[in-house]
Amino acid sequence: MLGVEAATVEERLRDCDHGRWRGLPLAEVVAAEPEGVRQWLEDPDSAPHGGEPVSAVLLRVGEWLATLTPGRWLAVTHPGLVRAAVVVALGAPAGAYRRVDVPPLGRAELTGLGGRWNLRLPLKGSW
């Protein structure tokens, strides 16, 4: 279906560990911990949920991108990890993570050579 010959599980592309908030609707978390949610949304180094901060997600996605050899690669992962890859690839600050909107089943195409990445937007209808 994806047109790939082989696939592997890449641990660095796992979703963010949201700690005790895992699996809860955001509205429920906001009602229970409004200050924690505010802190988490504003500070990429914070993890009031006891899990992983956004800055750690960016770091591990950046480490994975740095391991890629020339060629074509396909990663099927969570929207938050696509968001992280875009932020890292563009060299944007960690605070930009919340400014990238990736819907479920969204796609980003990164092109580059030697660790210099570009974001390529698809042509209309090419998805």
Domain annotation covers residue 76:
yes
What pLDDT, in 10s, does the model give residues 60-76?
Answer: 999 999 999 888 889 99
Domain annotation covers residue 68:
yes
**Can you list the alpha helix ranges (DSSP code H) found in the chain?**
26-32, 34-42, 54-67, 79-90
Sequence-distant (≥ 6) Cβ neighbours of residue 121 within 8 angstroms: 109
If one counts the domains in the chain, the total is 1
What CATH number does the domain containing 92 carry? 3.40.50.1240
Domain annotation covers residue 77:
yes
* Domain range enclosing 49: 18-120
* Angstrom distance (rounded) from CA 120 to CA 104: 19
Q: What value does the CA radius of gyration of the chain take, rounded to a whole number of Å? A: 16
Specify the residue for token string 């690669």: 73
Domain annotation covers residue 3:
no
What pLDDT, in 10s, does the model give residues 27-51?
Answer: 999 999 999 999 999 999 999 999 9
* Angstrom distance (rounded) from CA 58 to CA 85: 7
Whether 100 shows a pLDDT value over 90: the answer reads yes
Sequence-distant (≥ 6) Cβ neighbours of residue 70 within 8 angstroms: 113
